[in-house]
Structure 1
Amino acid sequence: MNKSFKKILSIVLSVMMISSLMTVSLSVSAVEDGKVRVIVRNDTYSVENGAPWDGVLVDEWVSIDNDSTMMSAVVDALNNHGYTQEGAESNYFSSINGLAASDGGAMSGWMGTLNDWFTNYGFADITVASGNLESGDEIAIMYTSNGYGEDIGGTWANNDTTVKSVEITGAELTGEFDPSVTDYTLTIGTPSADVNVVPTATNKNFQTRKYKNEYLPSDDSAFYKRSQTVNVSDGDKIIIGCGDTAWPSMNTSEGGTVYTFTVKYAPSAADTVSNKIDEVAKYLASQDAPTVSSVGGEWTVLGLARAGKITDEIADSYYQNAVKYVEEKGSAKLHNTKSTDNSRVILALTAIGKDVTDVASYNLLEPLADMDYVKKQGINGPVFALIALDTGDYEIPQTDAANPTTREKLVQTILDAQVANGGWTFFGTTADPDMTGMAIQALAPYYSSNSDVKEAIDKALTVMSNAQNENGGFASWGSVNSESCAQVLVALTSLGIDPTNDERFIKNGNTLIDAMMNFSAENGFGHTDTTYNQMATEQGFYAFVSFDRLVNGKTSLYDMTDRLAENYTVGDVNLDGTVSVVDATLVQKAVLSLEILSKVSNIKADVNGDGVINIVDATLIQKIVVNA
């Protein structure tokens, strides 16, 4: 090795390591007070070509004190693992763990960076005492095999002050980073966030520095370390400078390059939905008490209850109105031809935990036991009858009707109504997003267990994906509207599909949530614009609640067994109001597949809450009985 190269190597230090010639960045959570990160690696001379080792030899945090230097920190890191080195006493590593300068070729040897910059100083000259070495700094010692460091990011052959790449944590970069473009947008999903932008210089002979809101290259105390995050809010700027003439370098800078990352606050889909739910719930709760009605009635109750935002006063007022309505009808059948009236009231009452088999002494499930009655309304009848029956895992009442309802008949009726192109419609032969969405909602509980249902739904999902427009929305009867979007949103979430990360339902970067928010009005939603509309608001509200329940791991909008289970004590498997040995026996039978428990019974049988029904739960029930 010639003397000039050895001299160059002896003055170059390293903190930030590169992996396959790319920077290894450091998350702020990994920073340890009173320590520096030391990385020793060889990525340019492989074992296959004769090196004694390659890859990362050391990557750890090393304690420093007032007597520490860059050199001593690296030596400590090597000693911690029993690795050898030669040359530290003369301020240049001539060999590390058997890999020596010149082993990889005439231009090979050990070089290093301090915070990703090939410094102007020797390893031993960077000290804590002088203020050049501080807690959180990053030292990278790397083996170069070609170009006197050019293969590890530094060169004297050019004065390029651009940034080659950036690694960003805590925010999303709009678009791809391009070294020739200097202005970018960073999106955060919370009002404030800790964000880090870690730059890699095209030529690491030039420093990079990071600032918040104001670029102050002459102030050596104003910039953030590479490992430090910057707390930002909407409108803040993170500024990255590279190769400014105010900073030392072994190369000649021609002015440097400055990159600006402007922060934009854009709530996540989940936060957007949650905020809208809060807004609409507050408004709906301020309206007159809900009555039995397709608008201003059950859908309001359903949405508020499933959002967990219904008050006892609202629930009780609606229940009293429902009881009065049924009394006035004088029958369990609430409409002569529209079975959906019964289904709708069943949904609302189940959502508030009421007994639908005893409303003013009438069993509202009974009319749904007559298949001919259910079908009078067209496809709507079977769809909502199935949803209503499944919402509480209800048994279909015994009936003397000529054509008694079964779940199998309801499912098959819906399947038979599927149009040729794969969806469903109120009338005609072309799939409509509203009816397709509702049909999927009804069939969703059978998707995993019924192959015919799965095939039908998969076809319908393809149809809906193809029908989605570039804004993420859906059109029905010739106009894009919020209700169509709402029904598809409920359908997808009923299947466990998150439409914000399923590529089938993202168009031009827009999701169903984006489409719904295009109709956002004060306190609710509009129909085809942003003018408040009560029906659109109710449907949009419960659709958002359906999404919110999905992303928060709750049961689906129409699976209300979780609510009904609240009416019973843990361990009350037979739902008779007491916990006894009978309940323990039922669990034992269920474990042996001798008994099939209802969904509510399953919830009550899982005494230890581990999601599994087994003999442990039976034993716990026995203990409850003994200690009662």
Structure 2
Amino acid sequence: MMQNRKRILSLVLVLALMLSLFPATGMGKAYAQDAKAVKVGVRIESFDRNIIPYTEMEVDNFDLDEYGYGEVKAEDGPVVLHAVVKAIESVGKDAKDKKVLDAGKGDFITTIDGVSMGSTGTGMDGWMYYVNDEMPPVGINEYSLKDNDRITVVFVENYNAAYTWFDKTYVKSGTGDEIALTLNGLSYDMDEQKMKTSPISDASILVNGKELVLDGKKVRTDKDGKAVFKLDELGEYDISAQKFDEDGKVRIISRPYCKVQIEGSSKGPVPVKKHVSLDKTLNKTKAYYKNNKTELSSWWDMVAVYSSGEDIKKAPWKLPEWKSEDIKSDAAAGSYAGYILGLMAKGEDPYNVWSRDLVGELVEKQKDNGAFDKISGHIWAMIALDAAGADYDKAGAIDYLIKQQKNDGGYAWGEDNTPEAAGDPDMTGMALVALSNHREVKGVEGTIKKALDYLKETQLPTGGFASWGNDNANSVATVISGLVAVGEDVLSDAWIKDSNTMLDALARFMLDDGAFSYVLDPKKSNGMATSQAFIALNDLKNGKTVWNSLGITKSVPKGDKDLDKDQDKVEDKKTEKVNEDINTDANQKDKTGTKSPKTGDKGIYLYMLLAVMSAAILMYPIYGKKRKMSTR
């Protein structure tokens, strides 16, 4: 009996040893979480109303199982379904509620915001999706997204309806000036047996959901799909169109979309208005957090409240209980940066958390060309590492960042674009924050100067900025933080456009309770817009950006004689920790170059070891029976 037990124990140990040599990759789900986060635009239209206006967002490959959907079928994520889920959640709706979003098994949308197949009673209605105004031949869980994709999800009353879009998605004009839009449609040509694009004639133009009537006549598109009209009052307008069948009952086109901004007569200046008060605006948003958002669920919120001088470790603030498994070792650089910045905001050491060195792990992600990831992840990695006082290849990182600047002086999302690509104010603002820490490096000042020229050139008459054609709160907030980082006086005459400051522009998006909306229509509370706006307001008030202040201990007054000594001790501790991690990591490599799993990966090995032991126990009666038979 004792000999049998020893043999079984030996079998278990041998199998466990073999399993420990297996790499962790490929053993999890069929998707790579946090891989290839992309920036896309999403718009969701019902047959008679807009559900989600065109909204830009960064989408990663998060776990869809939580929403009741199967594995992603595309080789590379994220997919369209990821973007739809995130768009639904961006307006405060619960994407796990099947009445809000039902995508079947993940490949076909049946319901969004209560609008479902059969809602119109035609027997031919349903949800369709398009990417870059084309119909993909695969399901929403199979289409891999790439940077700058434009996703449109529409509900049609008849599957034969034409999918339509205007030739412009954003128009800036003066009162009384002519506005010209051309309506194009994509539909199936029965004669040619293929999808075909053609102009849509005799479609009624809608302004904020109502048919536009000028001089007693409805404004319609002509035979070439063109409609010309004027708007006399200042403001922003949502432009769409509709066209019915011969009976006037069923819409035969999907709803297109264009944002029109009327800024005053082109023959005269925009009227001067009183500037917004920074203190009143800031206090109102601070009150919003204290009255409505004491649970800081994201690192953005934690940094935002921290930037206002609050100690978020104390009441009334409630912080997320992050765990090691929340940030896997193969996570993207941008995800690492978020955790590092959030940890510092709540007073924890990213060099030593959950028995891990997140700073050292992020440093290891830097490539030979100096990059940590695509431009967004690269910028955030630099900001986080600089805030933590990390030792990394700064020269390589700066050189890579400088080379990503576009010809117009701005920075654009993604890296698979040409120098001729148009810059984006959000990316340019964050690039300024990253560059501000390295102004002594050759080439940085020139890069900053070109970025400032780009922002002055693209600033809107409202004082704000538009990203992907949308004047929005996030863009102006990000630019404010970037300008503060490089020492610009944001509220000075140099940055006033048509009598409007950037603070004036940002305040337009504030709601009555102090929260912020992403866009003006619909004007709804948006978590990301609110946190970014709060950071920008505090940056203006403090005269420095929080992104360059997170690593400073607030409890030590300026001028303290021991400040430099204390800081040196912190830096020495960080350096020792990084060197210790590098040496340990090198010793853990096996002969094939495979690293032993880090803390975040140990769970799978324990699970596998338990499985082997269970199998051995089950095999024991069989082994014993065979042994008895062999001794007869």
Does the pair score TM above 0.5? no
Taking CA–CA contacts closer than 8 Å with sequence separation of 6 or more, which of the two structures ends up with the larger relative contact order? 2
Larger Rg: 1
TM-score by length of 1: 0.43
